[in-house]
Structure 1
């Protein structure tokens, strides 16, 4: 069998509902790496919330974060590393729109930066419940252009705020998070997970036909469409299942990724 590039979304896909990688999943991915296949994380998460999983899986491949805006090898100076950023003026504009659009929190992030205008208690634990003094987002503290800006906004204002951002800043893309929270994510225009996946494939000189990608949410659509085999999770949203080449028989709570890969590679 040809060498495969296995691209893994994290939340709702490789991670179980407790946001952990099960022993079965870890062992399966370790075996596939030992057999010469490439395993890579391609996630919307920032690198600060992905690197523990990267190290748990013993990966050496580049990792894609912020839905394609950053690709890097953790702990290394890698010549092919990239980070697409957006102008920090977008953040300053959001400050002015806070009252009008019931914005609850703004966070600006990059590979080596995390800033938020206030602490935000939520069920994701993606953002700290308390901020250190050097994590507070202000006009003064934001010294560099961010790779991604996350905006928590009241749901009834989400569509109008998205339209306003795109009107003022046509050079960005604005995505919505899946799940119960009303969140907008702002990245460089045209950047998506498929951006990082294509770079990965080129780096390893792997044909699209030899890419297997797993995902469950709207931010995975382009990645699954780009991959030779785009696999939707059993727990994926309907649009992802609709464009996928295949669907895992089991959910992320049932080791769906590991189960699928073990059958695909005839490991059992």
Structure 2
């Protein structure tokens, strides 16, 4: 088989329900790398929440964070690294109008920085519950344009706030809505999507689209699965993603769906 680029969503896909890698998944992905294939993480997660997973897999390949707004090779300087940012004036407007937008938490991130208006609520584990003084988001502490804006809103206002933001800033931003119990809007620069990061990495390695296999489970994986030669939806994926995919894993993310699929598809030694 020709060299494949294997692009992996994390939550609900490569990670199990405990948000961790199983030993089977680690061994399988390392076996794929050792067989000459390129394994690359393409996630909506910020770098701070993905680097440990990258290191567990012992990867040396580019990784895309914030759904492709940041593409880089961790732990090294890479000439191909790129970042698409959002004008900080949008953050300042949100900060000034938190009540108007029903914002419960406002956070901005970059590769190596995190600022928030306050610590995350106890029920929301994606962000730090306590933050240092120099991590408090203010007009003074926001010195550069961020890569990502994340806002936690009151659930009943989720659609209203999304529509308000698109009305005011639709020419400059994309808004993703997280699945799960919390009403979270994730904002990145206009035009950002996982498929663009996958294309960029494939071009870097000289790999044709037909030799890219991508795994995903949620709406932010849609363009990626549609773009690649072989888009694979998880058994636990949304109906929309299953409808786009070329194939569906036999097992879900809690039962090594990605690992079992790749072992068979790449004919990896067990």
Is the shorter-chain TM-score for this pair beyond 0.5, marking a shared fold? yes
Displacement of 1:266 after TM fit?
2.0
Matches within 5 A, 1:93-104: 93-104=93-104
- Structure 1 stretch displaced more, 115-124 or 127-136: 115-124
Distance in 2 between the 1:226 and 1:85 partners?
Answer: 24
Match of 2:31 in 1: 31
Answer yes or no: is 1:235 the counterpart of 2:236.
yes
Distance in 2 between the 1:91 and 1:198 partners?
Answer: 29
Equivalent residues of 2:3, 2:38 under 8 A apart: yes
Match of 1:151 in 2: 151
* 3-state SS of 1:99 partner: coil
Displacement of 1:163 after TM fit?
1.6
Match of 2:92 in 1: 92
Displacement of 1:131 after TM fit?
0.8
Displacement of 1:124 after TM fit?
5.4
Match of 1:265 in 2: 266
CA 108–215 in structure 1, closer or farther in 2 if over 3 Å, else same: same
Distance in 2 between the 1:215 and 1:224 partners?
Answer: 7
Normalising by structure 2, we get a TM-score of: 0.97
Deviations 1:180-219 (A, max 9, x none): 2111111100101111101001000100000000001111
Equivalent residues of 2:102, 2:161 under 8 A apart: no
- Structure 1 stretch displaced more, 115-124 or 69-78: 115-124
* 3-state SS of 1:213 partner: strand
Distance in 2 between the 1:116 and 1:41 partners?
Answer: 26
* 3-state SS of 1:11 partner: helix
Equivalent residue pairs, number: 268
Distance in 2 between the 1:220 and 1:142 partners?
Answer: 30
Match of 1:220 in 2: 221
Displacement of 1:122 after TM fit?
4.8
Aligned structure 1 segments of 4 or more residues deviating by more than 4 angstroms: none
CA 258–123 in structure 1, closer or farther in 2 if over 3 Å, else same: farther
Equivalent residues of 2:216, 2:234 under 8 A apart: yes
Match of 2:108 in 1: 108
Equivalent residues of 2:149, 2:188 under 8 A apart: yes
* 3-state SS of 1:262 partner: helix
Distance in 1 between the 2:237 and 2:41 partners?
Answer: 18
Distance in 2 between the 1:85 and 1:144 partners?
Answer: 9
Answer yes or no: is 1:4 the counterpart of 2:4.
yes
Match of 1:16 in 2: 16
Deviations 1:39-87 (A, max 9, x none): 0000000011101011110101000000010000111110000000000
Displacement of 1:3 after TM fit?
0.1
Match of 2:69 in 1: 69
Instruction: Mark the runs of 5 or more structure 2 residues left unpaired by the alignment.
Output: none
Deviations 1:69-107 (A, max 9, x none): 000011111000000000001111112331123210000
